[in-house]
Structure 1
């Protein structure tokens, strides 16, 4: 394990690029970085398992040939370097072939999450101007209602069965295309991904990820994930979103490491089975997935105990109860990581770097980044003073975000990129996440972060998930209201609500407990699993107005 302070002090962007990407930013191709350079005989790139139990293994050499066939198809259809190609596909080998083939042709891959409906797909395709969308039979019907939909390629059954008239058949086209295609070279500033923000606080905004970001993705895999050659790695995140596409596809493959795709519904049982079957030692995912594992009790903890060397969490703050469960029940360390679609992961408790781990903190700046807390006048805040989490772009050579595509970017002020999240610097130099700026609750003159209240509630054995908001109140400005999802062995009741209120009051403070508790079957979330507190706030405002 390397020392964090020494790593930060000796960090050199040029050294990182030189060691990982041959130092030639004037001539790059993402398919070379993530496939060709690792295409040695027998070297595995993908372990895949389908929902029906079928399983396949693909080498880098096999994916190299498939990517060439797909790139030849794109060239035949007139797709030029820089054009966008969209993928509306589940976690299948065809998805990986589409991504790599798009990159090989010098084009830009655009992910479409398979849970999207036609309107969400239409917004993204129209904003990107995609020339082609690749989908499968399970998602094809959604495109019928997409205005101005580009050409469609569909992954069908055997011999193209189920292909809609007018669509290109994925495997029929792969079979007729040559298995050789010279990668189209681009520069480090050219895009290779077209992403959209998750829409947590507003409409999804487009942004382009430049090729030079691959070095930052690799750095995260090395320093925060601590991906080692002997590890079997599985990132639970869907490649339809940033964390999955950056760190289940690009990052591990760029390191020449196999990745794992499981194309099936998430459950504690399936997760345990996949971890056991493939000998997973390094796991990444979201707090939502980990909370569902905890809800599985001994049925989940028993099969997993002692098998995982390192576990990483991203997407939402990690509740302390989850950290304790992984340590006590599984005998492993889970670390919290913070990032955005616009940034990748920039604030982490790094598995591979030696530094203090502050309970409840998101961690320390990733090498090549300087993450700070600023006030409204852009003054950097001392420990203990809440403010806005920001990236000092003047001292963050690995930070690649340059603004939204075709949309005004208001988050750059002076030399800072403002994340829109509230945070607080700790005395040891770590940073604790408080919440989205809009999520912070002002009650009776106190500012309360919903994360602290949610973490206290999660510690109660009845609670599986919870979301906390500020409800408008004429006397206190806002009161704290909690929406609670109970475990299967518990039933809503006034007595349980009072028990939960007292639990939080005793755990936190007299001003920080939820004065109202509403039991719900589920919480509103983005397709990527982030809780949408603003929907709950709007519901409460509508009730008061009616």
Structure 2
């Protein structure tokens, strides 16, 4: 295992690009990088299982041919290099063919999550200026409600017939490293999702993450649970592993504990990536999961929100594998990690250390770098972060760029070992009686109580304390909400954290509001409490 501090100190961008890319920075194509360069090896690129149990393996050679046919189809439909193609498909071979064929044609791929309704689709395809949407029969009708919808290609209708009519030869269109190959929309907590392009040079950063943080090895069987309709799935279930010549796994069905355990066992998955939500659900069924999976997994990675200490301990003790926390954004990819492949101290609850090729700092409101132990905004020192690729939001100014820094909007704290701990989104941090409380610490303490499966903590407006800490709690099956349990949870957190951090109010709920990718939407709970306070004041 390489030493992290040596790898970070000696990072060389030119060497990283040369060792990662088949092309050079003046002539790149993402389909070459993620498919063609590995064709002829006989290696499998995609392991797929459908929602009805269908199974298929696709080699890089097969995907090369199918992507060429799709690129010819795009050209016949008037799509040119630099145009945008949107995909709204489940995790199927057709999705991967659409992505690779779009790249082969020199066009830009824009993902649409299959749970989106017409308005979310409309905002994205209009913002992207999409020339074509590829979807399936289950989602086709949504496009009928989209104003000014582009032309549509439907899988299960005319997709395969049209492909078969196309030539299986198409020379990939070469682009510059600064040219985009993906167009993403950030979900955000307020306002409409903002568009941003991902340049081809980001492939170097995506591969660095797969190699150093995920520790993806040639003999691994890899599965990223994230849907490619979102950044973590598109960057690290598609682009990263395929660029390394490694197979990825697509399971078309929805997440369940049973299906997850079955796929890990049947396909011999050794390297797993996913979200804390999925891991909390596995923990909730710990006896069943331990019986099925103990000793199966070698490395597990988590992204989206911080892991709770209980999940980290259980993976080590109950499943016999290491799970590591990783932090990133749609705008950055992953930049702060506990690295599986690099040796460094691992502090329980910390997001980790900056990915080699990035310099991550903690800033105050005047953009001064803060010392150990003082919470501030996580920022990227752009001139000293050669893997930083975010070009800004498309068609709009952003306040995130200040001087040499990109400001993430997340509140973090530098630790004495050089690692960084996540406190919360800037909007999520609670100010109560002059103290600053990170919701994650309170949530972690609550989840360690045996009655609790999930929790979300917010600051509720309070005339005396500015805000008071309020928790929304989901209980395990068989647990009954009552005043005695609420009191027990309050004392449990008070004992584990501090007198000012415990939740003065607890509300038991059946579920928490989340984004389609599984992140808890605390702002919705906070807005709900603000509305209640305003209504009470009006009366």
Q: Give the shorter-chain TM-score range.
A: over 0.9
The number of residue pairs the alignment matches comes to 535
Which of these residues, 526, 533, 536, is aligned with residue 537 of structure 1? 526
**1:264 equivalent in alignment to 2:214:** no
Residues 224-261 of structure 1: per-residue CA shift (max 9 Å, x gap): 00000000000000000000000000000000000000
Separation in 1 of the partners of 2:495 and 2:5?
38
* 1:17 and 1:23 in contact (8 A); partners too: no
Aligned to 1:47: 47
Aligned to 1:401: 390
Residues 405-456 of structure 1: per-residue CA shift (max 9 Å, x gap): 0122110011000000000000000000000001000111110000000000
Give the deviation of 1:57 after TM superposition.
0.4
Give the deviation of 1:23 after TM superposition.
6.0
Aligned to 1:33: 33
Separation in 2 of the partners of 1:77 and 1:221?
35
CA RMSD of aligned residues (A): 0.8
Secondary structure of 1:439 counterpart: coil
**1:296 equivalent in alignment to 2:285:** yes
Secondary structure of 2:106 counterpart: coil
* 1:199 and 1:526 in contact (8 A); partners too: no
Which of these residues, 511, 521, 525, is aligned with residue 522 of structure 1? 511
Query: Is there any run of 5+ residues in structure 1 with no aligned partner, and where?
Result: 161-168
Aligned to 2:402: 413
Give the deviation of 1:65 after TM superposition.
0.5
Structure 1 residue ranges (4+ consecutive) displaced by more than 6 angstroms after TM superposition: none
Q: TM-score, normalized by length of structure 1?
A: 0.97
* 1:226 and 1:352 in contact (8 A); partners too: yes
Aligned to 1:434: 423
Secondary structure of 2:33 counterpart: helix
Residues 346-395 of structure 1: per-residue CA shift (max 9 Å, x gap): 00000000000011100000010000000011110000011000000010
Aligned to 2:153: 153
Give the deviation of 1:41 after TM superposition.
4.3
The within-5 A match list for 1:351-370 is 351-370=340-359
Residues 281-303 of structure 1: per-residue CA shift (max 9 Å, x gap): 00000000000011112111211
Secondary structure of 1:438 counterpart: coil
* 1:14 and 1:23 in contact (8 A); partners too: no
Give the deviation of 1:491 after TM superposition.
1.5
Which of these residues, 244, 251, 264, is aligned with residue 255 of structure 1? 244
Separation in 2 of the partners of 1:132 and 1:415?
38
Separation in 2 of the partners of 1:348 and 1:203?
29
Give the deviation of 1:42 after TM superposition.
2.2
* 2:22 and 2:37 in contact (8 A); partners too: no
Separation in 1 of the partners of 2:189 and 2:46?
31
Which of these residues, 311, 318, 321, is aligned with residue 332 of structure 1? 321
* 1:198 and 1:528 in contact (8 A); partners too: no
Give the deviation of 1:77 after TM superposition.
1.1
Q: TM-score, normalized by length of structure 2?
A: 0.98
Aligned to 1:113: 113
The within-5 A match list for 1:6-155 is 6-22=6-22, 24-155=24-155
Give the deviation of 1:9 after TM superposition.
1.3
